[in-house]
Amino acid sequence: MTEIMISASKEYSVLIERGLLDRAGELMAACLKGCRAVIVSDDNVFPLYGERLEKSLEKADIQVRRFVVPHGERSKSLACYGELLGFLSENHFSRADALVALGGGVVGDLTGFAAATYQRGMGFVQVPTTLLAAVDSSVGGKTAVNLPTGKNQVGAFYQPSLVICDPDTLKTLPEAEYKCGCAEVIKYGVLGSERFFNELRERPVSEQLAHVIKTCVEMKRDVVIEDEFDHGRRQLLNLGHTAGHAVEACSGFTVLHGQAVAIGMAVITGAAVKKGLCSPETLEKLLDILDYYGLPVTADYPLEDMARAVLADKKLAGATINLVVPERIGRSCVMPVPVSEIKDWLRLGGVK
């Protein structure tokens, strides 16, 4: 079993091993204070893995309830968050108990925010079942729900008590969700490791899952330890996300998160090339690997709509917004850009 320690405001382990889902109960019992837990999942994932997880918890003498939400981004809302809090209160759960997020990024973000705020903080365990959640969103403590005006507008930094990653759960991923995870994996290569980026082109992610998850989690660990609360270096992890969140919003969330991140990376890198901030070769390599993994690279939404959505992003600070700009494969920088120049960046990146 691979164990990666995260030393943030709370120290916890990320455990990676095939078949780990059936040992989840004993692993949680060793790190949680209470003996009651709620499994929060969605109506796609719970039928696949929910009962196995329940049995594992019960075997460890943890009393279990379930809270299942509709799949998709629309469950990451204040309404769904309120329903989860109401469920906890009505069933007399306390801060000594725990929430267990079984699913992808939407479930993890929703569950984490509820855990952070219910009675000012309760136990929280992540059990990611998507590639995107395994390599990125389950680690680092960002939790949130969306507002109609934008993604992740209401949230908290709240580290989990434990992350249990069983790569076998990724076998049931729909192809589109697998590709979404690949977009986040590619992001890590562009940000911090040309060698890792090249490995992803030489051999599919699906053939090296354990290595990919371990590499991404270790890269994120290093960033989170240095900048847990997102004031500096951690902002680099937003590569592709500013324009990507705008794509999601303009699509009414019909474009999946990973697809939007791929488009966002292509748009900003394309603009950076035209501004002389990175080489055409960098863009060529990025577009090639995105194509290799079947990911989109263009935003088919009006420039005005995209610009409006970007300016609703939480990365806006006064008259500037921070864009993450690739300089070359393996190196990027955070660049404060005046809001008056956002349309120009989008236009140069191919948005019409």
**pLDDT of 149:** 85
Question: Token pair of 171, please?
Answer: 């076998």
- CATH numbers and ranges of domains, the chain: 2-172 (3.40.50.1970), 175-348 (1.20.1090.10)
Residues 6+ apart with CB under 8 A from 44: 71, 103
Decide: 221 and 139 in contact? Cβ < 8 Å: yes
**pLDDT of 34:** 72
Task: Enumerate residue ranges in the chain where pLDDT < 70.
Answer: 314-315
pTM above 0.85, yes or no: yes
Q: How far is CA 70 from the centre of its chain?
A: 18
**pLDDT of 19:** 96
**pLDDT of 315:** 67
Q: What angle do CA 256, 257, 263 make, to 5 degrees?
A: 95
CA-closest candidate to residue 263, choices 284, 289, 290: 290
- Tell me how far apart the alpha carbons of residues 202 and 288 are, in angstroms, rounded to a whole number: 12
| Residue labelled with tokens 């929910």 | 50
**pLDDT of 32:** 83
